[in-house]
Amino acid sequence: MFEDKLQKLQKSNLIRIVHDRDSAQGARIIIKGRQCVNFGSNDYLGLAGHPRLKAAASDAAQRWGAGAGASRLLGGGCPLHRELEERIASFKDTPGALLFNSGYAANTGSIPALAGRGDAIFSDEMNHASIIDGCRLALAQVHVYRHRDMGHLEELIEKNNMDHKLIVTDTVFSMEGDIAPLNELSVLADKHNALLYIDDAHGTGVLGRCRGALAHAGLTHAANIIQMGTLSKAAGSMGGFIAADRDVIKWILNTARPFIFSTAIAPAPVAASICALDIMETDVSLNRKLWENRLLLTGRLKDLGIETGGSETPIIPIRAGSGGHALEMGEALLERGFHAPAIRPPTVPEPMVRITVTAGHLPDEINALADALADLI
């Protein structure tokens, strides 16, 4: 039974295979036996391999142990968990914060906690899979609006005007690299008395001088805004979080199943995340470098006539036409010494090679990637 299904995937160029690295995460890696420049990670600031994060993680493992041993509600937490939550709340300028084991767990736990039976969720059609799954788990009605289309969103709200409404959006869309219209979303949320839940997985550490998409939009925390984020991307560690009003945090803590029924995140990544926040708060040079590198790459691609879709961030989609061509482009890039993964349906509607530029790339590497893409398109 599964053999047939797998063959079908194979025939449609949709089979997925894990290729492990033979080196640590970073701007230069060894993968599939090749040394290459890595344009495939979300390690935007290069913090995954930062000596201070590595030292903090190993100190924490020595002091607090390798694992947490239980859910935090059953005594699996240690002072580092609380310290990280306090640091996240201060970093995001919110009254409170709650830590999850991953961004995926934060979305699949918090969305059902915030919108239940009789409520309505309004979700951008390009939202991340973890939001889609969170919406599926919620017992609320789910209405999907066209990508970044505020007219369509308002039309759906007016047609489905339940007492409790939750608007959900990625801030930076994870495959297209474009940014949600947060100013308009917050006006609509206020006008229609809705909660606004923003997934800042790719905004934190990247936008608003590291503080994220809300700061980038010139907005500040409000009682009806719930910020979700992850520590697995620009923060170079792992874990997800919600930053919001204290009552919202208390409610999620009491009702989100991935928080209640899953062993707490281990002390080592928690300590690494605290260290990442230290760096993001005090040193803007990595964030500046990230944006300089993005400007260099997008400038070169523009000169070469290569389309970058709606990208406004270090995530740059290069359309590939078919799944087969996306795979070929990925392989051809690898032969030239660049890792940039092919992304195919169902992750995206149209196959693409997803380039992510980071602070760790050198100008020569970025120029060489642009030249290679020009040859391959």
* Active site positions, annotated: 174, 202, 233
Span 114-143, contacts to ligand PLP by CB under 6 A: 128, 130
Q: Smallest gap, in angstroms, from Cβ of residue 116 to ligand PLP?
A: 21
Q: Where are the beta strands (DSSP E) in the chain?
A: 28-31, 34-38, 96-100, 120-124, 141-145, 165-170, 195-199, 225-230, 240-244, 315-319, 338-339, 342-343, 352-356
The Cβ of residue 348 has, within 10 Å, a number of other Cβ atoms equal to: 17
Complex with ligand PLP: residue 40 or 103, whichever CB lies closer? 103
DSSP bridge partners of 228: 199, 242
Q: Smallest gap, in angstroms, from Cβ of residue 281 to ligand PLP?
A: 20
Span 141-200, contacts to ligand PLP by CB under 6 A: 170, 174, 199
Q: Smallest gap, in angstroms, from Cβ of residue 242 to ligand PLP?
A: 12
Question: Within a 13 Å sphere around the CA of 73, how many CA atoms are in the beta-carbon half?
Answer: 14
Interface with ligand PLP, residue 262, by CB under 6 A: no
Judged by CB under 6 A, the residue of 97, 121, 201, 268 near ligand PLP is 201
Complex with ligand PLP: residue 89 or 126, whichever CB lies closer? 126
Nearest-5° Cα angle at 116, 111 to 121: 60
Sign of CA dihedral 287, 291, 293, 294: positive
Interface with ligand PLP, residue 308, by CB under 6 A: no
Interface with ligand PLP, residue 317, by CB under 6 A: no
What residue number has its CB nearest to ligand PLP?
Answer: 103
Residue in this structure with the two tokens 């969103």, named with its chain if needed: 153
Span 219-258, contacts to ligand PLP by CB under 6 A: 230, 232, 240
H/E run at residue 319: strand 315-319
Total number of residues shown for the chain: 377
Complex with ligand PLP: residue 38 or 232, whichever CB lies closer? 232
At residue 323, the 3 state secondary structure works out as helix
Interface with ligand PLP by CB under 6 A: which range of 47-55, 101-109, 319-327, 338-346?
101-109
Interface with ligand PLP, residue 208, by CB under 6 A: no
- Which residue in 313, 80, 331 sits closest to 208, CA to CA? 313
Q: How far apart are CA 293 and CA 363, in angstroms?
A: 7
How is the chain split among helix, strand and coil, in percent rounded to 5? 45, 15, 40
Interface with ligand PLP, residue 330, by CB under 6 A: no
Interface with ligand PLP by CB under 6 A: which range of 98-106, 116-124, 293-301, 337-345?
98-106
Complex with ligand PLP: residue 174 or 287, whichever CB lies closer? 174
H/E run at residue 242: strand 240-244
Complex with ligand PLP: residue 240 or 267, whichever CB lies closer? 240
Binding residues for ligand PLP (CB under 6 A): 102-104, 107, 128, 130, 170, 174, 199, 201-202, 230, 232, 240
